[in-house]
Chains A and B, each alone.
Chain A
C-alpha cells in the first residue's frame, strides 16, 4: 500500500486555527512538567476542577452526556448563568455558550505536556473590539494556565 506523507495536525494546532478564525479569541500556551494523563485528568474534570482554574466560574454542572458531547450549566460569581454546549475528548475540549467560547488542548511531550487554553467572547461589536479583547485574553489565559498548574500540582 502506498504511504504518502500525511501532515500531523495535533490538538494544539487545531485550537490555534479556531482562535485565528474567531475575532478576539486568544490561545495561550504553556508546557507543564507533568505527564499528559495527570494534566488532562484535572483539565477535563469540568464539574470539580474547572471552577478552580476558571476564576469567573463558581459552579458548573453537567446536565447531559452523549458520547463526547455534553451540556452544562454554569454559574458565575457576579450572578451570571450560562448554558454551555461542550465537546470533550482526550486532549481536546471546546465549550460554547451564547456569549462565550472556550477551549483546551493538550499534547503529550515525553514526560511533559504541552497545553493550550482558548478564550473568546461573542459580542455584537466583536470585530471592532478584537484588539482589546486579544490583550485581555492573553492576560486571562495566562492566569488560567497558572491556576491549572496549581491544581495539577495539588492532585499529584
Chain B
C-alpha cells in the first residue's frame, strides 16, 4: 500500500470526514466487485451495508496495509447476509464449474449465479474472481477447509449445469 493511502486510512481512523470520503473512492469499486456476484439483485444494498460496516469498524484496523483483505472479509460476509435475508434464490439442482479461462465464462454469468445459494456464490467469487486458494477462501468465510472445498465443488457442478440448461 502506498504511503498516501496509509495516511488516508490513519486520518479516517481519527474521524476525518474528508479522508473517509477519499477512502470511500478507493474502496467502493472493490466492494462493488465483491458484493455483485454474491448478492446479485440486492448487491447495491449489500455494498452499502458492507461499506457502512467497514467505515464503522475502521478504527479497529491495526495495520493499514491489510485494508483490502480486511474489507473483503467484511464485504463477503455482509453480501452473504443480505442475500440470505432476502432469500429470493432457490438453488437448482445442477455438475462442475468451468475453469477461470474457460470460454464458457465469456458471457454474463448473473443468470447462472442466481441458481446458486449465496454461500456457493461467495466461494465461487473468492476462488474464480479473486483467485484465492481453498484454504484462504475457507478462512475468510469462517468455515473449515473441507466445507469450502465441498461448497466449491457443488457450486461448480451447479454452475456447469446452469450453462448447459
Q: Is the CB of B48 within 8 A of A13?
A: yes
A9: chain B residues within 8 A (beta carbon): 28, 31-32, 44, 47-48, 51
CA distance A43 to B35 in the complex (A): 31
A125: chain B residues within 8 A (beta carbon): none
Which one of A5, A8, A85 lies within 8 Å of B18 (CB-CB)? A85
B15: chain A residues within 8 A (beta carbon): 22, 122
Q: Using A13-B47, A18-B24 as known contacts, say yes or no to A5 and B110 having CB atoms under 8 A apart.
A: yes
Q: Which B residues, 17 to 72, have Cβ-Cβ distances below 8 Å to chain A?
A: 17-18, 20-22, 24, 28, 31-33, 35-37, 39-40, 43-44, 46-48, 51-52, 55-56, 58
B4 within 8 A of A: no
CA distance A16 to B24 in the complex (A): 11
Closest residue of chain A to B32 (Cβ to Cβ) is A7
Q: Is the CB of B21 within 8 A of A6?
A: no
Interface size on A, residues (CB 8 A): 27
Q: Is the CB of A101 within 8 A of B17?
A: yes
Q: Is the CB of A16 within 8 A of B48?
A: yes
The 10 tightest CB contacts between A and B, nearest first, are A21-B55, A7-B43, A101-B17, A7-B47, A5-B36, A7-B32, A96-B18, A6-B36, A94-B21, A17-B51
